[in-house]
Amino acid sequence: MPFDIAQVEAYQWVLAIISAMVIGMSKAGITGLTLMFIPLMAISFGGRESTGILLPMLCVGDVFAVAWYRRHAEWHYLLKLLPSAVVGIGAGVAVGGRLSDDSFRFLLGGIILLLLGMMIWQDVQKKEPHYPQAWWFAVVAGLAAGFTTMIGNAAGAITSIYLLSMRLPKNAFIGTAAWFFLIVNLLKVPLQVIFWKNISAATLTFDAIMVPAIAIGAALGIVAAGKIPERAYRVFVMVMTGVAGVLLFVL
């Protein structure tokens, strides 16, 4: 059934507005929050329908983030990640709805917790990690990020782990992630319009109503991220990524 904005119920409006604010905050530096709302939006609007609603909202959040952090991006790491991410997006288009929601959640959660565990182990051992500099690490991270972002707009945790492994400073972390997601999310829009047909004039109208909430969230995120010290920010991102990974198994 095509999305009809007139049929959206009150609780769905509330959830969408909160999600829009969280998207703004997450894109502006308080990362890890968006993944918690993706399953709730999927339950409320339907799996495929929710990705069509969320994607333009994510693009708006990316624009706000790039506008503020654009000078801090580390393009060396970005260019290592993007080629395999594009391949991952193609794989996501091919798989489409064939992968069940439960299978997707468990696969994504397992990848997130495995990569996060590797990074924490290196931190505990206080050794300079070698695997982040290996060619395969960027390829695997890019493939996983591209695939998961196409299937469920859920690549934030994987990208966070990759950028944390590069030990980027806070602003470089946010700026690099902002450019990465702006590029891949814009690439996804025509693919979802053509192949999945879950973005329409009705969903875009709904998304346009959410823009003020995204802007408010982005402003709050910029202020909050600016007050968090570098080390504390790294720990915060790791904790939020771990929480998001666990939630994928229980929601």
Domain ranges of the chain: 5-250
> CA–CA separation, 193 vs 187, rounded Å?
11
Mean pLDDT confidence for 72-80: 92
**What was the pLDDT predicted at 97?**
61
Pair 203, 52: CB distance under 8 Å: yes
Return the structure tokens found at 211. 């823009």
More confident: 129 or 100:
100
If you compute the radius of gyration of the chain from its CA atoms, what whole number of angstroms results? 17
**What was the pLDDT predicted at 53?**
95
Q: Does the pLDDT at position 226 exceed 60?
A: yes
**What was the pLDDT predicted at 242?**
80
Least confident of 37-46, 113-122, 188-197, 202-211: 113-122
More confident: 115 or 242:
242
**What was the pLDDT predicted at 130?**
59
**What was the pLDDT predicted at 139?**
92
173: left (phi over 0), alpha (psi -120 to 50) or beta: alpha
Pair 85, 145: CB distance under 8 Å: yes
More confident: 174 or 122:
174
Q: Does the pLDDT at position 90 exceed 70?
A: yes
In which band, very low, low, confident or very high, does the pLDDT at 14 lie, cut at 50, 70 and 90?
A: very high
> CA–CA separation, 113 vs 111, rounded Å?
6
**What was the pLDDT predicted at 129?**
56
Q: Does the pLDDT at position 207 exceed 80?
A: yes
In which band, very low, low, confident or very high, does the pLDDT at 110 lie, cut at 50, 70 and 90?
A: confident
The end-to-end CA distance of the chain, in Å, is 25
Least confident of 7-11, 27-31, 33-37: 33-37
Pair 124, 183: CB distance under 8 Å: no
Find the angle CA(120)-CA(113)-CA(75) to the nearest 5 degrees: 70
> CA–CA separation, 189 vs 148, rounded Å?
15
Give the percent of the chain with pLDDT over 70: 90
pLDDT tens digits for 159-170?
888 888 888 899
Amino acid residing at 116? L
**What was the pLDDT predicted at 8?**
94
More confident: 59 or 39:
59
More confident: 42 or 23:
23
